[in-house]
């Protein structure tokens, strides 16, 4: 029993909905010798995908089952539900006022998949005097050693890929540009391969690497520019653009041998002991508006007295950011001993696009004398259709603590 177009193998990459960057600022760098600890929790849920025609569909294709040389047994219809939680710990440091470096450590708390199969009966079967029921089908599969796929949970306490980053605000030293309210940064990030691959013998499981998460590339280049309106709007609005290109590298994967699912996952016999995936790079742009409804008091506190900073330069008490991101996804390239299997996988992972909306609320207490920033955000791919990608929603909450040792 082989799955139609290897549909169930889609679940090896179900974690396609983790936000790549938790911070809202496009061009911010830290002041010299300043540390920023950022800890956030993210929870995601996913149940739909977008097909090649920008239409919403199920995560997994229907699977038609036929009698050997006979009629239709029935149709398996998965209605998969996925949840995922991750703890992201980031530490950034300002080497200079215009040069910051950082490290991000994503720790998976748990992930779960519920395939939720239903059954539509097929043709009348003379051998049993009726059409196959769902119980008939799974009893037949069990007689050949294939259990019915059930709910899966795992990845508890596992690392994803650790990210290292550098941001340079190249306009900082150009007085005319800075005084006009313009800023531009070049950001480069790279991922260390600390994530884990999925268990090849499990149907409904997922890995924790960048390709499995599908959140961002393994080597990323971002050029951002924004304009603040300090004189015109009392510095309450900043508009920005971010252009990016993100590279994925080819990786090798162990082929499933069917030790747990002999009828659904026995591909090693014809694709070889290993196969490789070149996922296809990301590219695109973001447009962002940062709005400040309430700046808060600009009075001296122990923070400003100790640092000597002007209270007006501290972050506003309440602000929010709205962002739209378009991501183009390149064609994937699969390589195994089976050209037909490669084609089927590549057909599932064709060129596509994501349309992402993100909103974030920020509450900063530095003007009140507390070195603390609390934020909450929501990211969705459900409102604007995409192409050959997954429709997901993510809620994140976090806390930032700036530190400086004088």
Residue ranges of domains in the chain, CATH in brackets: 14-61+79-111+150-404 (2.40.160.40)
DSSP symbols for 24-89:
--SS--PPTTEEEEEEEEEEEEEEEEE-TTS-EEESS--EEEE-TTS-EEEEEEE--EEEEEEEEE
- End-to-end distance of the chain based on CA atoms, in angstroms? 68
Residue 354 phi, psi dihedral angles, 5° rounding = -120, 140
Mean pLDDT of 343-357: 93
Task: Characterize 361-380 residue by residue with b for buried, 16 or more Cβ atoms within 10 angstroms of its Cβ, and e for exposed.
Answer: ebbbbbbeeeeebebebebb
Instruction: Kindly indicate the confidence band of residue 216, based on its pLDDT and cuts at 50, 70 and 90.
Output: confident
For residue 406, the model assigns a pLDDT of 62
Instruction: Report pLDDT for 357.
Output: 97
Per the listing, tokens 């009698």 go with 67
Q: State the DSSP code for 132.
A: P
Q: What's the pTM?
A: 0.89
So what's the pLDDT on residue 226? 95
Summarize pLDDT for 355-382 with one digit per residue, the tens.
999 999 999 998 888 889 999 999 999 9
pLDDT exceeds 50 at position 1: no
Give the integer Cα–Cα distance in Å for 127 and 121.
Answer: 15
Q: What is the chain's mean pLDDT, rounded?
A: 88
Burial category of 353 from C-beta neighbours within 10 Å (exposed 0-12, middle 13-18, buried 19 and up): middle
Span 31-86, pLDDT tens digits: 999 999 999 999 999 889 999 999 998 888 888 888 777 788 899 888 888 898 99
* Residue 325 DSSP class: E
Query: Are β-strands 333-335 and 274-278 bridged in parallel, bridged antiparallel, or unpaired?
Result: antiparallel
pLDDT at 306: 67
d(CA 372, CA 59): 40
Query: Do the beta carbons of residue 141 and residue 133 sit within 8 Å?
Result: no
Q: What per-residue confidence (pLDDT) applies to 305?
A: 72
Share of the chain above pLDDT 90, in %: 57
Whole-Å CA distances, 390 to 163, 206, 234, 282:
23, 14, 40, 15
Asked whether the beta carbons of 382 and 6 are under 8 A apart, the reply is no
């Amino acid at each position: 029993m082989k799955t139609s177009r290897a549909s169930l193998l889609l679940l090896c990459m179900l974690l396609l909905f983790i936000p790549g960057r938790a911070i809202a600022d496009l061009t911010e760098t830290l002041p010299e010798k300043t540390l920023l600890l950022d800890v956030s929790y993210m929870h995601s849920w996913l149940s739909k995908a977008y097909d090649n025609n920008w239409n919403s569909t199920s995560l997994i294709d229907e699977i038609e089952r036929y009698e050997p040389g006979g009629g239709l047994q029935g149709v398996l219809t998965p209605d998969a539900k996925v949840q995922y939680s991750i703890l992201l710990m980031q530490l950034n440091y300002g080497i200079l006022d215009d040069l910051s470096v950082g490290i991000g450590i994503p720790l998976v708390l748990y992930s779960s998949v519920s395939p939720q199969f239903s059954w539509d009966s097929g043709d009348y079967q003379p051998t049993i005097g009726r059409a196959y029921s769902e119980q008939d089908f799974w009893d037949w599969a069990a007689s050949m050693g294939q259990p019915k796929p059930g709910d899966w949970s795992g990845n508890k306490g596992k690392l994803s890929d650790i990210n290292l980053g550098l941001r340079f605000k190249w306009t900082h030293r150009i007085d005319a540009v800075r005084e006009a309210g313009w800023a531009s940064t070049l950001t480069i990030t790279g991922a260390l391969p600390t994530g884990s691959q999925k268990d090849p013998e499990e149907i409904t499981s997922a890995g924790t690497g960048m390709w499995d998460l599908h959140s961002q590339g393994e080597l990323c280049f971002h050029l951002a520019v924004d304009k603040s309106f300090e004189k015109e709007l009392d510095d309450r609005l900043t508009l920005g653009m971010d252009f990016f290109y993100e590279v994925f590298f080819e990786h090798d994967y162990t082929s499933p041998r069917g030790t747990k699912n002999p009828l659904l996952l026995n591909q090693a016999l014809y694709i070889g002991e290993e196969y490789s995936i070149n996922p296809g790079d990301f590219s695109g742009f973001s447009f962002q508006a940062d709005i400040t409804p309430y700046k808060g008091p600009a009075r001296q506190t122990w923070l400003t007295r100790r640092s000597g900073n002007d209270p007006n330069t501290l972050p506003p008490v309440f602000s929010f950011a709205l962002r739209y991101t378009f991501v183009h996804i390149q064609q994937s390239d699969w390589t195994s001993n089976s050209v037909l299997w490669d084609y089927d996988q590549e057909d599932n992972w064709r060129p596509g696009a994501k349309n992402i909306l993100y909103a974030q609320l920020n509450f900063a207490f530095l003007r009140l004398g507390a070195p603390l920033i609390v934020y909450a955000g929501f990211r969705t791919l459900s409102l604007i259709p995409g192409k050959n990608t997954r429709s997901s929603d993510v809620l994140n909450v976090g806390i930032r603590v700036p530190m400086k040792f004088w």
